[in-house]
A = this chain, B = another copy of it.
């Protein structure tokens, strides 16, 4: 499968950014490819289009499945797995935030909880204890809020965001007067 110039640039860029987003190049490229594809693709097709090893595609798809960014679908009369991703940016965003929370926040939350429960804690200065408590509390609040937001429909979310903007404007105007 030949890629058009625009698609090719999109896929290559997504791949380059992948590293910064916490996934490897191939994972990001596959996701980009599926995102722009009009239909679900087989692993074989992905392999050919991207020019990487079949096994690499297999592992990358597994990672995308673990993020729930990609789903397996079946085509009648074809025993091969076909892969597709949501075309809804909001949906994708939610899944990415969810995945990152799981990988980037959850382990820390647990360690902080552990530290705060630890008998060693009383040896620490009040300052240190306060610092750790505040960190823990902050994570807790942000996690809860983000869960709430992620549960919203796009339209509702837009309303909340506009509201946020309104309040922030208000605050700024009051600050000036």
Contacts and interface: CB of A to CB of B under 8 A. Distances in A.
Interface stretch (A43-51, A68-76, A149-157): A149-157
A156 B128 contact: no
A130 to B, nearest CB: 9
A17 B148 contact: no
A145 B164 contact: yes
A132 interface: yes
B156 A7 contact: no
A65 interface: no
Secondary structure at the A interface, as helix, strand, loop or mixed, is helix
Q: How many copies of the shown chain assemble into the complex?
A: 2
A172 interface: yes
A108 B164 contact: no
Contacts of A131: 35-36, 87
Interface string A1-42: 000111101100100010011100000000000011010000
A177 to B, nearest CB: 16
Given A125-B38, A163-B163, A156 B141 contact: no
Interface string A112-147: 000100101101110110011011001001101100
A13 B109 CA distance: 11
B159 A127 contact: no
4 tightest CB-CB pairs across the interface, nearest first? A89-B138, A5-B120, A148-B168, A145-B161
Interface of A: 4-7, 9-10, 13, 17, 20-22, 35-36, 38, 87, 89-90, 93, 103-104, 107-108, 111, 115, 118, 120-121, 123-125, 127-128, 131-132, 134-135, 138, 141-142, 144-145, 148-149, 151-153, 156, 159-161, 163-165, 167-168, 171-172
